[in-house]
Structure 1
Amino acid sequence: MRKHRLDLFSLIAGGLFTVIAVSYLVAALNDETVSGRIVVPITFLVLGVGGLAGAVVAVARRNRPDRED
């Protein structure tokens, strides 16, 4: 099986949505609430940082000479 490149943005987004889902699940089990006033801005912030990191990695890969395996 061939290796594929790591998609950093997808990894960060998947991790973020997993954390959000688990936090809502834990809050529901403990009769608590999760404040949307916190979740929404943090979601946008983490997705923005993930997009920036993904763009930096893509530029770094583009400037790197190709390896022959």
Structure 2
Amino acid sequence: MRKHRLDPFSLIAGALFTVIAVLYLVASLGDRSVNGRIVIPVTFIVLGVAGLASAVTAMSRRNR
């Protein structure tokens, strides 16, 4: 199998959506509820930070 470069944005996005899915699954098993007013903005903030980090990393690799 051929190796490829690590894509941090995809890794963070996949992990984030997995955590959110597990959070909703655990909440549905009990009496708890998940507040969407917090989950959705935090998701966008984390994805934005991951996108910026990925862009900065790509720019620094090009300048080498």
Whole-angstrom distance in 1 between the partners of 2:63 and 2:5:
15
Q: Which consecutive unaligned segments of at least 5 residues does structure 1 have? A: 65-69
Q: What is aligned with 1:57?
A: 57
Q: Give secondary structure in 2 for the equivalent of 1:54.
A: helix
Instruction: Report how many aligned residue pairs link the two structures.
Output: 64
Q: What is aligned with 1:67?
A: none
Whole-angstrom distance in 1 between the partners of 2:27 and 2:47:
23
Q: What is aligned with 1:36?
A: 36
Q: Give secondary structure in 1 for the equivalent of 2:41.
A: helix
TM-score normalized by structure 1? 0.86
Moved over 4 A (4+): none
Q: What is aligned with 1:11?
A: 11
CA RMSD of aligned residues (A): 0.9
Whole-angstrom distance in 1 between the partners of 2:31 and 2:24:
10
Aligned-residue identity in percent:
75
The structure richer in helix per residue is: 2
TM-score normalized by structure 2? 0.92
- Cα deviations by residue, 1:1-58 (Å, 9 ceiling, x for unpaired): 2210111110110011000000000000112110001101101100000100110111
Larger Rg: 1
